Amino acid sequence: MSPIGGADGTIVVADLRKRYGELQAVDGVSFTVAEGEFFGILGPNGAGKTTTLEIVEGLREPDSGSVLLLGEKPWPRNPRLLPRIGVQLQASSFFDKLTAREQLETFAALYGVSRGDAADMLDLVGLADKANTREDKLSGGQRQRLSIACALAHDPDIVFLDEPTAALDPQSRRNLWDVLRVIQQRGKTIVYTTHYLDEAEILCDRVAIMDHGRILAMDSPAKLVRGLDAPTHVMLAEGVLSVEQAETIPGVEGVNADGVSLTLSTRTPAPVLAALAERGALDGLQVRTATLEDVFLHLTGREYRA
């Protein structure tokens, strides 16, 4: 193997900028992704995720800034690099009127990969029973999985997935998560974009939160949430405890009753929960810790809306 990648990162992106007319779509984006890492770029629609990803893949030329993938420049089109990256475009792109297996075999053949290897990929994404179904007859989730299989057909080192779970029903989304985890277990470096913050929190080793073409924060989801120093909310059924009683519990910073439930905020949830258990006041208990959405709210001053 070549000495590229390694300590300097499999993907090194520095100060990317891209403008469409008046709109600064990407405004100074830098990040590094290590080998085998699952890296997520999150943000609402229009944040500049796709543009960033396409520049990194070598599909677009940045106005300024630099990208190195495995030590190589992706722009202009770099045939040495192409076999080592696998890309799922945001809009799925298939040949007309071919079955799932034929799509996969055609894409695989573009990289000189044999049919047998390609067929394994259908198994991986759970489409073995749809092998002979025409692509246009697949459901949205199945089409996304086929698209991912096509991106993986040539066994690339780096996989780019642009909103693979967008517009899927919850069940399909969860199925896809399993596929993504299997890909990571195979040692691939994954860069993926999503506008579902909850999903990124579950899947990613590290995330970059993007808005208006800039990265606002970048770290592991847990560290981002912890760094927020936001209180945990403990919710109880109304009437289990009075507001006055709740306020006397040590560690409780605020109490809020909305007629349906009683919400206590605390930064020390463990002793508060112990105190509630002591009083037998655990009816309808729910605990909500801070999420990436709270991080987004904190960073931008506005509620997160995908």
Partner 1 sequence: MTSSARRGGTASSFRSLSTAMLKGFVRDRAGLFFVFLFPLMFLVVFGLIFGKEGGTKPKIGVVGDGPVVVALEQSGAVELERLGATDDAVRKVRDGDLPAAVLAHGDTVELRYAASDQTQAGLVRGIVGGVVDKVNIAASGQPPKVRLDSQQVEDSSLKAIQFLTPGLLSWAVSTSAIFGSAVTLVSWRRKQVLRRIRLAPVPVSTVLSSRLLVSMGIAVGQTALFIGVASTPVFGLSLSGQWWLALPLVMLGTLAFFAIGMFAGSFAKTEETATAAANLVVLPMAFLSGTFFPIQNAPGWLQAVSQALPLRHLTDGMLDVMVRGKGIEALAVPAAVLVGFAVVLGAVASRLFRWDDA
Ligand X SMILES: Nc1ncnc2c1ncn2[C@@H]1O[C@H](COP(=O)(O)OP(=O)(O)O)[C@@H](O)[C@H]1O
Assess contact for 215 and 43: CB atoms under 8 A.
no
Residue 165 touching Mg ion (CB under 5 A): no
Residue 41 has phi, psi (to 5 degrees) of -110, 115
And the tokens for 124?
Answer: 């991986």
Residue 43 Cβ vs ligand X, minimum distance, rounded to whole Å? 6
Residue 51 Cβ vs ligand X, minimum distance, rounded to whole Å? 3
CA dist list (Å): 147 to 43, 52, 100, 176, 263: 22, 20, 9, 12, 44
Residue of 206, 228, 218, 231 lying closest to 287 (CA atoms): 231
Task: Between 195 and 206, name the residue whose CB sits nearer to Mg ion.
Answer: 195
> Coil, strand or helix: which one is 200?
helix
Assess contact for 192 and 160: CB atoms under 8 A.
yes
Interface with partner 1 (CB under 8 A), residue from 37, 157, 163, 211: 157
Residue 50 touching Mg ion (CB under 5 A): yes
Residue 230 has phi, psi (to 5 degrees) of -90, 150
Q: Which range touches partner 1 (CB under 8 A), out of 109-117, 162-170, 199-207, 291-299?
A: 109-117
d(CA 105, CA 124): 15
Task: Between 53 and 240, name the residue whose CB sits nearer to ligand X.
Answer: 53
Residue 194 touching ligand X (CB under 6 A): no
Task: Between 51 and 88, name the residue whose CB sits nearer to ligand X.
Answer: 51
> Coil, strand or helix: which one is 54?
helix
Q: How far is CA 289 from the centre of its chain?
A: 20
Task: Between 25 and 150, name the residue whose CB sits nearer to ligand X.
Answer: 25
Residue 39 Cβ vs ligand X, minimum distance, rounded to whole Å? 15
Residue 103 touching Mg ion (CB under 5 A): no
In the chain, alpha helices (H) = 49-57, 100-110, 115-124, 140-152, 170-185, 197-203, 221-227, 243-248, 269-278, 292-300
Question: 98 touches which of Mg ion, partner 1, ligand X, none (CB within 5 to 8 A by kind)?
Answer: partner 1
Interface with partner 1 (CB under 8 A), residue from 109, 128, 275, 299: 109
Residue 56 Cβ vs partner 1, minimum distance, rounded to whole Å? 12
CA dist list (Å): 168 to 101, 139, 145, 165: 22, 9, 11, 6
Neighbours of 22 (CB within 10 A): 5
Assess contact for 26 and 215: CB atoms under 8 A.
no
Position closest to Mg ion via CB: 50
Task: Between 49 and 206, name the residue whose CB sits nearer to partner 1.
Answer: 49
Q: Report strand pairing: 85-88 vs 158-162.
A: parallel
x-marked contacts with partner 1 along 66-95 as a string, rule CB under 8 A: -----------x-x--xxxx-x-x-x-xxx
Residue 265 Cβ vs partner 1, minimum distance, rounded to whole Å? 47
Residue 60 touching partner 1 (CB under 8 A): yes
Q: Which range touches Mg ion (CB under 5 A), out of 89-97, 135-143, 183-191, 271-279?
A: 89-97
Which residues of the shown chain bind partner 1 in the complex (CB under 8 A)? Answer: 1, 57-60, 77, 79, 82-85, 87, 89, 91, 93-98, 102, 105-107, 109-114, 117, 150, 154-155, 157
Which residues of the shown chain bind Mg ion in the complex (CB under 5 A)? Answer: 49-50, 90
